[in-house]
A = this chain, B = another copy of it.
Amino acid sequence: MAKAKPATTSRSANQASASEPYIVIIAGGKGERFWPQSRAARPKHLLPVVGTTPLLVQTLDRVRGIAPAKNTFVITSAVQAREVARVCRGLIPAANVVAEPAGRDTAAAVGLAAALVGARDPQGVFAVLPADHVIHDTNAYQRDLRAAFAAAGAADVMVTIGIAPTEPATGFGYIQRGGEWGRVGAGKTAKVVYDVKRFVEKPKADVAASYLASGDYVWNAGMFVWSVRVVEAAFAAHAPELDAGLAKIRAALKKQQVLAAVLKKVYPTLVKISVDYALLEKSANVVMVPSSFDWDDVGAWPAVAKHFRPDAAGNVGRGEVIVEQGGGNLVFAEAGHLVTLLGVDDLVVVHTKDATLVMPKARAQDIKALLAKVALRQDAAKLL
């Protein structure tokens, strides 16, 4: 597939499309990595892991000004829907919180997003954004997002925002950039947009190091901007089976049928595949806007620490915490409870009302093994 070129490289973000932009925030997650604060029904994006509001609310706050609230959707899971609706109240219309009856991975969610936006505006351009990332520089973030909207409005491309890597991380997919595809915006807000050579899966450490050294790779953070038309064409071309299912959802929305009823019937039948596999790796018309904002996906407890001011010994605490003769600890205590550490270093200690976790920071990736044991308990449903 020949890569589309922008109609013009000088039009500004505001002129990018005749349609209003749309935002679809994907709020999923299993609630494992921030256990015991996170639970299946209360994963990371519903917690103020960093800051004082849930990360989902921070994400909604961050896109305000990009799209009007009525054009902003949140796609979540059935088990989280109630709490997501609660935190979204007053921020976006209640009808814009859409629950997947079953998790069918990101391709289905993107298809649902395209259907939701397409029902409003078949010419619509929308961003798909994760709900649970931490980004402090909202101005830079909005500038980059506007550039992505400009590119997606100007040409039939799938625009991804590439995160500038700061370390040879093995936990993210990477995107290898090609040459300059074009420019969007003008003057100080002008941005170079790059061709994408390929998407690569989470690499091994030595490969990640070579990616970082090359300067040609950025992290794939799951942030995409594209038109309904381009997304639907991609589903038709690369994922026809999934597209057939999505067509039923599109048809139902067109006929103004009750969305929940249709989803309940159709959604569980959809192919379970990531949008990277299903569409992006197979499409030639993918371009990349390099990020200029700070970014952290806060993958697990240890990542939280760097967003707090540590004490002289490098301890970070939230709530009532005392650390005596110890350093580098991350300690969270529920209100009304005092957590004390004596003579320990580099631990994560998280106390909640009904469960407490103690582990070395270095073992955070092994939390699934612990949760497998919690799952064996009679009261597992309450605790997970």
Contact = CB atoms under 8 A, between A and B. Distances in A.
A358 B349 contact: yes
A336 interface: yes
Given A325-B366, A325-B369, A342 B356 contact: no
A5 B50 CA distance: 77
Contact of A341 (B336, B353, B359): B359
Interface string A335-360: 01111111110010101011111111
Count chain B CB atoms within 10 A of each CB in A324, A333, A341 and give the residue with the most. A324
A251 interface: no
Contacts of A320: 377
Nearest to A363: B343
Contacts of A374: 322, 338, 340
Q: Count copies of this chain in the complex.
A: 2
A354 B341 contact: no
A212 to B, nearest CB: 28
Contact of A370 (B324, B359, B367): B324
A309 interface: no
A383 interface: yes
Nearest to A333: B356
A161 to B, nearest CB: 34
Interface string A308-342: 00000000000010101100000001001111111
A359 B336 contact: no
A188 interface: no
A322 B370 contact: yes
A100 B333 CA distance: 38
Contacts of A351: 351, 356
15 contacts: A36-B338, A324-B369, A325-B363, A336-B354, A338-B354, A342-B358, A342-B370, A343-B360, A343-B366, A344-B358, A347-B358, A349-B358, A351-B356, A356-B356, A358-B358
B369 A342 contact: yes
A353 B337 CA distance: 7
